[in-house]
Structure 1
Amino acid sequence: MSELKPILNALRRSKVGAILLLLQIAITTAVVSNSAFIISEKMTYLNQATGFVEKDIFTFQMMHFGNDVNYMRQAELDESTLREIPGVIDAVIVNAVPLSGGGSSSTYRLQPTGQKSKGLNASIFEADSHFLNSVGVQLVEGRNFTDSEVVVSNDYAQYPTVGIITQALSEELFPDGDALGNTIYRGDNPVKIIGITDVMKGPWLKLDRRDWSVIVPFVMADKLTQFIVRTQPGERAQVMQQVEQHMLSSNRQRVVENIRGFEDLKAEYVSPDKLTMRMLMVMIVVLVLITALGIFGLTLFNINKRTKQIGTRRALGARKSDIVRYFLIENSVISTFGLVTGSVLAVLMAQQLMKHYSLAQLPLPFIITTAVSVLVISLLAVIGPAKRAANISPSIATRTI
């Protein structure tokens, strides 16, 4: 480390360039570490298990425009027609479609309104006993609805008093594992838990309630009716092409619209997050390239400025490896100060992101990994110019005397 003292003296004489490079490294470290963490969070979010066989399920809407239509009777006929299509496993009318970003929710508590108790906001799916089979979700405890428990009506005063909840919701409301057979309340309306499902995401993947859902045996049909259809593996595309023909065969005074696969619904819902992730990746690449080019340029500038000094050292017996080591150490000194400053900035930036955007706390490994990566990139960026400096002839010193 005999080069350290002359390096510090040289940096004091060229403060502006060193300070600019230090700031560049600091900003890169702060931004890249936070961006990498956000990308990691987005990747986890995008790859989360939904509980559905997405490639085998599709949904569509039916809009009636005819007069004197008995929507309830027509809905029952439509469900039967869909289930008879070759390749269809099951079909169901539902009030909300999972992964779609639209639906209804309500707060469910352990006690009726007015009594203090724990409550959670959960998504509500209203459908008959074919719902679970139509979305491919299994029960882990309890049973499905019976035909006598399903209420087919447009009157919410006849709302059912039994329901099936997801395992995530049962674990939150009943941590002791005694959810099955207990009663939860939506306002003053009791809902007895008769079944608990495996993993099943709701309509909103971004919200805390994405794993909390309640399925209620209530069927209501109107001018606009939503269907979920599950097909045999590999036969969904063929069934989707036939749906409109089969639906209009019994009643042509309506329109079949928005025939879409589950993965398409999910892709549309998460498209802003994918765009954000791609933008962050581009920003990381650009910042790293700018930092590497900055180091490369500063090293070249220093070589041109110190040609005589380098030539003199070579004339006094310095080897090429000594010259390369000199510039590597000089870069390491600048990078170290920049990385320390950047790490502090990364923590401060993360705190602001937590405050304003409800992001999780930035883990220390992301800062360490980013700092090491930036250091390696900075050293790689200086090797080329350093080798060029090592090739300066000792005669340069005598020519400039």
Structure 2
Amino acid sequence: MFKHLFKLIWNKKKQNFLLMSEMLFSFLVLFAVFSLLVYYYNNYKKPMGMGYQNVWVVSYNNALQTKNTDSLDTYYETLRNSIKGMPEVNDLSFCSDNVPFSANTWTGLAGYNKHNYSNVNMYNAEDSYLKTLNGQLLEGRWFNKNDMATKIPSVVINNELREKLFGKGEAIGKIIDESDDGKNKKRVVGVIQAIKAKGDYAAAGDAVYHRIDTGSFRWLGKIIIQVTPAANAAFEARLYKTLANYMKNSNVEIEHLVNKRKDINYFTLVPMIVLSIVGCFLVINVALGLFGVLWYNINKRRGEIGLRRAVGATGSSVSNQLIMESMILATFSLIIGSFFAIQFPLLNVFDLSAGIYLVAILLAIIFIYLLVFLCSLYPGRQAAAIYPAVALHEE
């Protein structure tokens, strides 16, 4: 039977080539869509790594221009006490501009034992940073005042970077290097759960946290504040007034991490939405084209179908023949498409795990087979309903 089907397909190779090309292009687009969907879903399943519900972000600039470190320390310590003195404030921390869910990104190098990684997220934070964000400590400890006196500066890394640098080995106490020449060494004192700083659907990525000192206040411009659930608009207005009166020459802005998370999630989902819309239009066009081609084939092959029915072929066998022809054409297209798609995990394109691509290939194959089967099912039934005498009389 298959030999007969292959012969029929070969005899109409020019017509079938266009149909196969449509299926091939649809498979490649669906592969891209499913790769993105699987990537986003894998990121979404991972823990956020922090509690953002009651955390606000204060942005400021031009607060105090002085070279005197003691004056800086006194100035910001007074501001800290003023904010923590409010009953609605649980904790706060000064930090660098790349706060969670912001568009700011600071990256650098991190290496250990000749294994160097670039594009590592670099954060600068105080001793209260992890507590303010309700982060989860996995190994070791967070920063404390004892880190001020260490010869080699202390850093905390997340579990994503820990796995790359040390695998299953010990991480606490190891010396990592943040430069190519080995002159910027740091000692790992803790490992935290990776924080998805770019939203639910983006990967957390590798991260290194550095402890800020008093001199860092010259360039810092963010404060994260953990507030109580009772904090409302009235408290926000009071907090803004306190900050504006204290930092008279500064532009103060207060944002909620809950709102920033929604904004960055929308921004992350835009490529997926656009690609999904393009994929849907393409699938609809392919489905209509496939349905039309099969319908046209039935009308062109009424004599052939009538002859087969006249010599004893059942309606179900005629219907199955048309469906099998379509599935064989789809198989040829998927073999070619899979050859190109499998290059992505082999070449590690876009630095995604091979599992994402393999799942996307499988989903795209299932979708194409299902689409072809559904589109050929009704024309196949129409072919099965052709009466031999009528078809032969028309011929």
TM-score range, shorter chain: 0.7 to 0.9
CA contact (8 A) 1:102 1:204 kept: no
Relative to structure 1, the CA distance from residue 123 to residue 334 in structure 2 (aligned partners, 3 Å threshold; closer, same or farther) is closer
Matched, 1:397 2:391: yes
Cα displacement string for residues 177-235 of structure 1 (whole angstroms, at most 9, x for unaligned residues): 55445655666566555x41421438678999933312314133348731111123464
Unaligned runs of 5+ in 1: 111-115, 152-158
Amino acid at match of 2:23: I
CA contact (8 A) 1:26 1:343 kept: no
Separation in 2, partners of 1:287, 1:255: 49
The 5-angstrom pairing of residues 242-257 of structure 1 reads 242-257=238-253
SS of 1:53 mapped into structure 2: coil
Separation in 2, partners of 1:392, 1:307: 8
Aligned counterpart, 1:40: 38
Aligned counterpart, 1:261: 256
Cα displacement string for residues 320-369 of structure 1 (whole angstroms, at most 9, x for unaligned residues): 22321221122222222222222223234x379845x4444464443344
CA contact (8 A) 2:122 2:208 kept: yes
The 5-angstrom pairing of residues 91-106 of structure 1 reads 91-99=92-100, 100-102=102-104, 104-106=106-108
Amino acid at match of 2:104: G
Cα displacement string for residues 103-157 of structure 1 (whole angstroms, at most 9, x for unaligned residues): 54554667xxxxx866666544444322222222244455555557669xxxxxx
Aligned counterpart, 2:331: 336
TM score, norm. by length of structure 2? 0.79
CA contact (8 A) 2:89 2:227 kept: yes
Aligned length: 383
Matched, 1:163 2:148: no
CA contact (8 A) 2:57 2:222 kept: yes
Bigger shift: residues 279-288 or 322-331: 279-288
CA contact (8 A) 1:307 1:396 kept: no
CA contact (8 A) 1:165 1:196 kept: yes
Cα displacement string for residues 309-330 of structure 1 (whole angstroms, at most 9, x for unaligned residues): 3334344444322321221122
The 5-angstrom pairing of residues 192-271 of structure 1 reads 193=188, 195-201=189-195, 210-219=205-214, 220-222=216-218, 225-233=221-229, 235=231, 239-257=235-253, 259-269=254-264
Unaligned runs of 5+ in 2: none
Aligned counterpart, 1:327: 322
Q: CA deviation at 1:375?
A: 1.5
Cα displacement string for residues 70-127 of structure 1 (whole angstroms, at most 9, x for unaligned residues): 65433222222222233221112212333334354554667xxxxx866666544444
Relative to structure 1, the CA distance from residue 73 to residue 339 in structure 2 (aligned partners, 3 Å threshold; closer, same or farther) is same
Relative to structure 1, the CA distance from residue 202 to residue 288 in structure 2 (aligned partners, 3 Å threshold; closer, same or farther) is closer
Amino acid at match of 2:241: Q
CA contact (8 A) 2:173 2:187 kept: yes
Aligned Cα RMSD in Å? 3.9
SS of 1:210 mapped into structure 2: coil
Aligned counterpart, 2:80: 79
The 5-angstrom pairing of residues 365-376 of structure 1 reads 365-376=359-370
Q: Identify which of 274, 288, 291 aligns with 2:286.
A: 291
**Identical-pair percentage:** 20
Amino acid at match of 1:42: Y
